[in-house]
Amino acid sequence: MIKKDELITLLRKGLDMEEKGIPIYARHIDKIIFLSGLSQEDQEKIKSTLMTLKQDSEGHKIIFQELINKITESTRNVF
Amino acid sequence: MFSKDDYKEYFQQIAGVERLMIYNVQDLLILLDDQELKYTLRNVASDESRHYGYIKEIFDSILFQDEAEKRRFIRIHSLGRVKIKIKGKDGFIEAYCVNISPGGICIESNQKINPQDTLELWVDFFNGREPGHHFGTLLWRAEIGADLQIESIRYQAGVRFNA
């Protein structure tokens, strides 16, 4: 069981991590020079991984924000 | 041109971010009773674990493929929660397992443990792997994560298990 305030704090921490992760994943996705030292196959693998991480983090950011909104509006004090 | 060390540093940073995300969601899951919230966050936890697997795959197949494991023991990259008792001190320290082998464990924590401290550790893995109970000595400690500006984890440390 977790109190509302503590839950919101942890969800905000999750949101903050996702927000900070997105620019790190995106930093090199479209930089040809970043991947140029690798084989075509490895380039594709890295690019596809970074893209997945970025897209999923964007989705998680929305999930965390919606949960924060929902819990903030809730009349419950424990979850 | 980026060197292999540049790639390694960048992907180590990403792995660190993913681990923080996993720790945070797992901390939420253990505290929550609400089943609907748990369902949503279990899906997020599953995504984060999958992401960490992708990064480990890049390490193994691209970045470290020509550096065969030279260690005496192969490390298992199973993340989990670690409760630590320092010999001669009261209370417990909360940490996370980064990897483990028959010879030792790498942990991350926001609490400082000093090299040469003698430790008793209880390890509970997120993936359901059988929990462990070990005794060991802290060999090294490094400050991490300052570049991420995420405050929750400050130290990474290596513990050698007592024979």
Tokens of B86: 């320092």
Assess contact for B105 and B75: CB atoms under 8 A. no
Look at B1 and A37 and tell me if their CB atoms are within 8 Å.
yes
**Distance between CA atoms of A12 and A18, rounded to whole angstroms?**
10
**Min CA distance, A14 vs chain B (Å)?**
7
How do residues A1-49 score in pLDDT, each as one tens digit?
999 999 999 999 999 999 999 999 998 887 767 777 788 888 888 889 9
Tell me the per-residue pLDDT of B52-64, one tens digit each, with 9 for 90 and over.
Answer: 999 999 988 887 7
Domain spanning B80-161: which superfamily? predicted glycosyltransferase like domains (2.40.10.220)
Confidence (pTM): 0.91
Residue B148's pLDDT band (boundaries 50, 70, 90)? Answer: low
Domain boundaries, chain A: 4-73
Smallest Cα distance from A60 to chain B, Å: 7
CB contact under 8 A, B1 and A42: no
For A62-73, write each residue's pLDDT tens digit: 999 999 999 999
Q: Where are the domains of chain B?
A: 4-63, 80-161
On whether the CB atoms of residues B163 and B114 are closer than 8 A, the answer is: no
Question: Which residues does chain A have within 8 Å of residue B27's beta carbon, measured at their own beta carbons?
Answer: 10
**Strand B104-109 to B80-86 pairing:** unpaired
Burial class of residue A4 (count of CB atoms within 10 Å of its CB; 0-12, 13-18, 19+): middle
**Tens digits of residue pLDDT in B92-124:** 999 999 999 999 999 999 998 999 899 999 999
Residues 6+ apart with CB under 8 A from B39: none
pLDDT of residue B72: 75
pLDDT, averaged across chain B: 90
Q: What pLDDT shows up at residue A64? A: 98
In B, minimum Cα distance to A53 occurs at B51
Within chain B, residue ranges assigned H as helices are: 4-31, 35-58
pLDDT value at residue B85: 97
pLDDT band (50, 70, 90) for residue B66: low
Kindly tell me the burial class for residue A51, based on how many C-beta atoms sit within 10 Å of its own C-beta (0-12, 13-18, 19 or more): middle
